[in-house]
């Protein structure tokens, strides 16, 4: 049996899992505060725009969003299988394409800022 190309999808999954673990909880807290009506100062248009306009800011945002998307997509693919959905190739295609689309969109928006 040939060696698997899984590493292509697994490495970004593992990286994304780490990013999610470290970054997503606090980001959720921030938007949650906004949802509750207490918009943190850092979420003002000026601050956010300034952050997203900087090169480093773009990189961080893109990294977090794309890796997290990828990680979620990959995990969802496995979960579909665990739930008894046996069309793995189909699920993989749809989910990975979705993740890539999301990442591309994020990139486009970031470049517009």
Partner 1 sequence: MSNSPPRSQPPLAAPHGGAAASLGRPGGSSERIVQLEVLRYNPDTDTEAHFQRYEVVCQEEWVVLDALNKVKADIDPTLNYRWSCHMAVCGSCGMMINGEPKLSCHAFLRDYEGVIRVEPLAHFPVERDLVTAPDDFMEKLKRVKPYLIPKEEKPISAGEYKQTPAQLMKFRQYSMCINCMLCYAACPEYGLTPGFIGPAALTLAHRYNQDSRDGGRAERQEVVATHEGVWECTFVGACSEVCPAHVDPASALQQMKITSSIDWIVEHLIPGGKSARDTASREDAGDIS
Partner 2 sequence: MSRNPLVREVPPTSWFFRHPRYMRYMAREITCIFIGAYCVLLVVGLQRLAAGPAAWEGFLLGLRSADSIVFHLLALVAAFYHAATWFNATQKAMPLQIGEDFVPGNLISGAHYAVWVVLSLVVLFLAGVF
| 93 interacts with, out of partner 2, partner 1, none, CB within 5 to 8 A per kind | none
Which single residue is written with the structure tokens 């040939």?
Answer: 2
- Least separation, in Å, of the C-beta of 54 and partner 2? 13
Tokens at residue 28, please?
A: 């959720």
Gap between the Cα atoms of 18 and 3, Å rounded: 26
Give the Cα separation of 99 and 68 in Å (integer): 9
Between residue 74 and residue 103, which ones bind partner 1 under the rule CB under 8 A? 78, 81-82
For 94, residues 6+ apart whose C-beta sits below 8 A from its C-beta are none
- 67, burial (CB in 10 Å: exposed 0-12, middle 13-18, buried 19+): buried
Please report whether residue 93 would count as binding partner 2 according to CB under 8 A. Answer: no
Under the binding rule (CB under 8 A), the answer on residue 61 touching partner 2 is: yes
| Choice from 3, 45, 56, 89 touching partner 2 (CB under 8 A) | 45
Instruction: Provide the binding-site residues for partner 2, judged by CB under 8 A.
Output: 17-18, 20-37, 39-43, 45, 47-49, 52, 61, 64-65, 68-69, 71-73, 75-76, 78-79, 82-84, 86, 102, 105-106, 109-110, 112-113
């Amino acid at each position: 049996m040939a060696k698997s190309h899984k590493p292509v999808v697994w490495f970004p999954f593992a990286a994304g899992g780490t990013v999610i673990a470290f970054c997503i909880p606090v980001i959720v807290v921030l938007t949650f505060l906004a949802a509750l009506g207490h918009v943190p100062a850092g979420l003002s248009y000026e601050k956010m725009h300034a952050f997203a306009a900087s090169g480093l800011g773009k990189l961080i945002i893109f990294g977090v969003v794309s890796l997290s998307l990828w990680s979620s997509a990959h995990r969802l693919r496995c979960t579909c299988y665990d739930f008894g959905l046996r069309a793995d190739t189909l699920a993989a295609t749809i989910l990975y394409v979705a993740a890539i689309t999301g990442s591309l969109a994020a990139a486009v928006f970031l470049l517009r800022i």
